Structure 1
Amino acid sequence: MLLQLTPRRHELISVFMMSIGTTFMFLGYDVQSMMAESVLHSVSTKNPDRISEYAGYYGQAIQYISFAFFSLFTATIQYYISSKSMLVLSSILFTTCYIAYIHVNSYIFYSSQLLLGFAYAMYNSAEGTYLSEHSSRRTIDSNSALETGLGHTSLFFGGVTMLFVFHFVPHTFDGHFLNFDEHVVQVIYFSLMTLTIVSVVLFTFLPTKQFDSIALNTPRVTPSLLSQFKRFGESFTHLNTSLLIFTYVYMGCMVSFMYGIYPTSLSFTSETASDVYIIALYLLSSGAAAFLSAMFIRPMIKRLHKYKLIVPMAIHCISMAIVMILVYCSVPNEATQKPTSNMNVLITPSRYLSIVIGFLLGFADFTITMTRSVICQIAVPEYRAEMFSLTRIYQCVASCVILFISPYLTVTSWILILITFLLAGIAAMFAVLCRTHNNTVAAPIEPLEEEKDEKFTEEKA
């Protein structure tokens, strides 16, 4: 006799499978983002005609601008292709992009980054759609929390994967930075490609049956491309959207620094480049911080609901302030541009310091992402979907610009950019909160159920 699944168990299996598939897909993506510049710089040193020494920065910039461009169209694609098919296609594209590292050259690599931006944009649209198809209004919060929590573990397991790979893969240190032979590069990225294939398999077998889902109970209207662009235009001209541009630009700079600039500086600094495990441990600590944030910060915010978004904003500012101080004192000024043995720093860089910085950046990343999720829902309520797309577009364009000029930016330049946009971004978000909630600093974070019941009892009495 076959065991009949209840609708809730069916939901949980669907969301769990998608979450694990997401973890495997982004596991390799996170690793290659942090290693791209150091690996390609190593390849360029031996074969300068094949690819630029700054191809890692330029490739990520192309990927971000591709993401921003295709985000304008992926919302329309989901009306013609099922969310499951979009997830499968995006995971296949993620997998094939690693082929660019099997035999590195400019044409294949930059084309793969363009394709990766499209794959990411497609996944970004399909993720929310699949959740709405396998969640009711009663379970959407729980399912979203499960998917977010498991998805963030990709950073942690990416670090574990790097530790495992580098334990067996040979490497050399030339006194300035870590060298990767072409054979070693092939082994690393073939391993990542193999792990990403797991996401293809999991997405292929995702359940499609719906029960009392949000999507099933919502009328499905297929908008024209022209009407979608019209809505984008209307949301773009709203004052709150204009103010939040500063916040999204800051997010683009912060994410680029976390995933590209700081890990590259570890590879380009002679004191830390000889430690093959340092980037893996940095990645692992970032993932651990994100996971712990999901477990502890959100419940804390609910208990401090009177302070609303002030809590994650404050945690983010404190974390980033400590990060900028530690980076400024421990990273050689030119380590973001080229390999250096100049150790004119106040604090000697080390494995343990990079773990602390990674942990703080993990906290910062989670808090700003969570804050963005809330602000997008309240800033322009009638254009929620468009606001989520616009945040990605602004963030990606900012990342693209900053990564293209990164070869000319020192550590001091990066710190000044981060401070400037952090202050402007937080001020803009504060202004939007005040405008949205009658000049009071608030956000739609509801009090705990027991607190609601107490208030109701008092009012009734």
Structure 2
Amino acid sequence: MNTAFDAEAFILESVIHSVHEREPDRIDEYAGYYGQSVIYGSFMITCLFTPSLLNIWTPKLLLVISSFCFAAFPFGFLFINSYYHYFSTVVLGIGKAFFNLGCTTYLTSHSTRKSIESNVSLQWAIGCGSLIVGSMILATMTWFSGDVPEGVVGNVTEIVVKSDTRTFNDLEIRLLSLVLIVVSILAIIVVFLLPSEDVENCIESSKKNGSFKKDLRLTFSTSISPKMLQIVPLCMLCGFNASCFMSIIPTSMHFNKANSNMLYIPAIYSLAAGTGEVLMGLIIAEASKRIQGFGLKPTMIIGTIALFVYSMLIQASTPIEAPMKPTSEKALFFEQSYPLIFVIALIAGVSDCCFNGVRSVICALVMPSRRAQSFSVSRMYQAAACVIMFFFSPVIPLYVYTVGLPILPVLSTFVFCKVVDSTRRMERKMTTETIVEQENTEKV
């Protein structure tokens, strides 16, 4: 599921823009940005209801339903138009909400307190391996379509460079659609084969005994609870950072006319981002086994440093107008190249892995009696940040991202450290009370 979603996120606005240039009446030029805003808007609203669904459906069933929702999106690339595009983005947003809650609750039912930090990071690393698979798909698609003889292409708009910017022809778009449809079908099969039984001493059982209405009220109260509000800056940071590095940055690279002949930007960027995500996930998973609490404060600090570094590289190498429209404006200090693009995406992947890892861990720990609700509400706030970012992307210049975004992790880190300390005090208190209760029981 992530392979199809991530591969499309990197190039969606560029693909839509290319189609609009050929057929202006077919779809709006910024439908890629607006479509992603709709995805996260649908996702945000659905997050209010998904915890209540756990009383009716199991986490595995949520994953099964979400796999079908994800599969609906690539079909739109076969016949791009506004109606199906926005319909499929709404469906995808619902599926993404089901997937995220289903995945996190499935993970807690297959993790103990000792294994949760490493399991979250390991799961994130494996999931982000989809970026590497997606890079192979994008590279193969670009190589194949770029080498197709003109007679085979027929009436399709001829290849790759138009108005001095990187564009996508109809053949590339259809190839991408067909490959991602196949990948989505494989995802459905994999989800059906997942084991259902919880592990022994799991953090939280997948079997619920509550009611839909009661849990719905609980979700609303969780969304404004003091403990949850303390991690809202972190959730918003995850959303702003993800939308920026997954879509806005690669789009600005395509809209930079100096990069018009660099056809493999999507493949290189996806490969590097996936490598950064996977490597950092594996490092956190291994370090968490050896160093207590590594998946919390140290990981948050690493993510903050990584965000600062890649923001500076983007600011130095990208024209100011590139996120908004194709531009021939010069970069501030130096032009982009494949090695630089690889480094930027690698570091961005590291930051994304760190922020999402600590968010998942703290949500599993900060409200033990409301884990499903805290997971879902955290994603809701994250989605709200994505909606804001994508909705205003057509009019936001580069420096707003590269200067404004690094300010947020400073605030988030300060608040996050306070939450971690209070959570540890709560855990120590609960452990002490459990020991005392056991001792009293033994005496009796």
Gaps of 5+ in 1: 1-24, 445-461
CA 1:145–1:342 in 2, change beyond 3 Å: closer, same or farther?
closer
User: What residue number does 1:367 align with?
Assistant: 354
Counterpart of 1:51 (choices 9, 27, 44) is: 27
Q: Structure 1 residues 318 and 133, CA, compared in 2 at 3 Å: closer, same or farther?
A: closer
Provide the residue aligned with 1:31 in structure 2. 7
Check conservation: 1:301, 1:312, Cα contact below 8 A.
Answer: no
Distance 1:434 1:216 in 2: 20
**8 Å contact 1:176–1:268 — kept in the other structure?**
no
Deviations 1:207-262 (A, max 9, x none): 55x37656899594432232113222332333232222222112111011011100
Does the CA-based 8 Å contact 1:40-1:56 persist in structure 2?
yes
Match of 2:305, as an amino acid? I
Distance 1:295 1:434, change over 3 A: closer
CA contact (8 A) 1:246 1:421 kept: yes
Superposed displacement of residue 323, structure 1: 0.6
Pairwise CA RMSD:
2.8
Contact 1:271-1:350 within 8 A present in 2 as well: no
Offset, 1:84: 3.8
Cα displacement (A) at 1:263: 0.6
Partner of 1:416: 403
TM-superposed deviation, 1:121: 1.2
- Equivalent position of 2:225 in the other structure: 238
Matches within 5 A, 1:89-104: 89-104=65-80
TM-score, length-normalised on structure 2? 0.86
Kindly provide the amino acid, as one letter, of the partner of residue 396 in structure 2: L
- 1:187 equivalent to 2:163? Answer no
CA distance in 2, matches of 1:307, 1:204: 34
The 1:420/1:153 distance shift into structure 2, 3 A limit, reads same
Q: Partner of 1:80 in structure 2?
A: 56
Q: Distance in 1 between matches of 2:90 and 2:16?
A: 17
- Higher mean displacement: 363-372 or 67-76: 67-76
In structure 2, what residue type is equivalent to 1:402? Answer: M
One-letter amino acid of the structure 2 residue matched with residue 281 of structure 1: I
2:327 corresponding residue in structure 1 = 340
State the Cα deviation string for residues 335-369 of structure 1 (Å, max 9, x = none): 00001111242021111111001110111011111
Matches within 5 A, 1:424-443: 424-437=411-424
Q: 2-side partners of 1:299 and 1:160: how far apart? A: 27
Supply the distance in 2 between the matched residues of 1:307 and 1:97 (Cα, whole angstroms).
37
Q: 1:138 to 1:383 in 2, by over 3 A?
A: closer
1:269-348 alignment, distance < 5 Å:
269-305=256-292, 309-348=296-335
The SS at the match of 2:49 is helix
TM-superposed deviation, 1:266: 0.9
Partners of 1:239 and 1:200 in 2: how far apart?
38
CA distance in 1, matches of 2:104, 2:227: 24
- 1:131 and 1:372 mapped to 2: Cα distance? 14
Of 131, 135, 139, which aligns to 1:159?
135
The structure-2 alpha-carbon separation of the partners of 1:132 and 1:435, relative to structure 1 and needing over 3 Å to count, comes to closer
- Report Cα offsets for 1:120-151 as digits up to 9, x if no partner: 11122322444566678898777666544322
Would the alpha carbon gap of residues 218 and 373 (structure 1) be closer, same or farther in structure 2, given more than 3 Å must change? closer
Q: Offset at 1:76? A: 2.5
Structure 1 residue identity aligned to 2:308:
A
Structure 1's 78 and 376: CA in aligned 2 closer, same or farther, altered over 3 A?
Answer: closer
Deviation digits for residues 99-136 of structure 1, max 9, x if unmatched? 21111111110110000011111122322444566678
Q: Percent identity?
A: 28
Separation in structure 1 between the aligned mates of residue 182 and residue 213 of structure 2, nearest angstrom: 40
Whole-angstrom CA distance in 1 between matches of 2:267 and 2:428: 37
Q: CA offsets per residue over residues 69-106 of structure 1, 9 Å max, x none? A: 11222222233234444323221221121121111111
Structure 2: how far apart are the matches of 1:331 and 1:70?
36
What is the TM-score with the length of structure 1 in the denominator?
0.83
SS at match of 1:155: helix
Aligned-partner Cα distance in 1 for 2:205–2:393:
45
User: 1:201 maps to what in 2?
Assistant: 189
**In the TM superposition, what whole-angstrom CA distance separates every residue of 1:175-222 from its partner, at most 9, and x where no partner exists?**
5212222333122212111122111222234455x3765689959443
Q: Aligned AA for 2:223?
A: F
The counterpart of 2:46, out of the listed 58, 70, 86, is 70
User: Aligned equivalents of 2:424 and 2:332: distance in 1?
Assistant: 46
The number of aligned residues is: 417
Report whether the alignment pairs 1:169 with 2:156: no
1:298-353 Cα distance to aligned partner (Å, 9 max, x none): 43355444777331122112111111110100000000000111124202111111
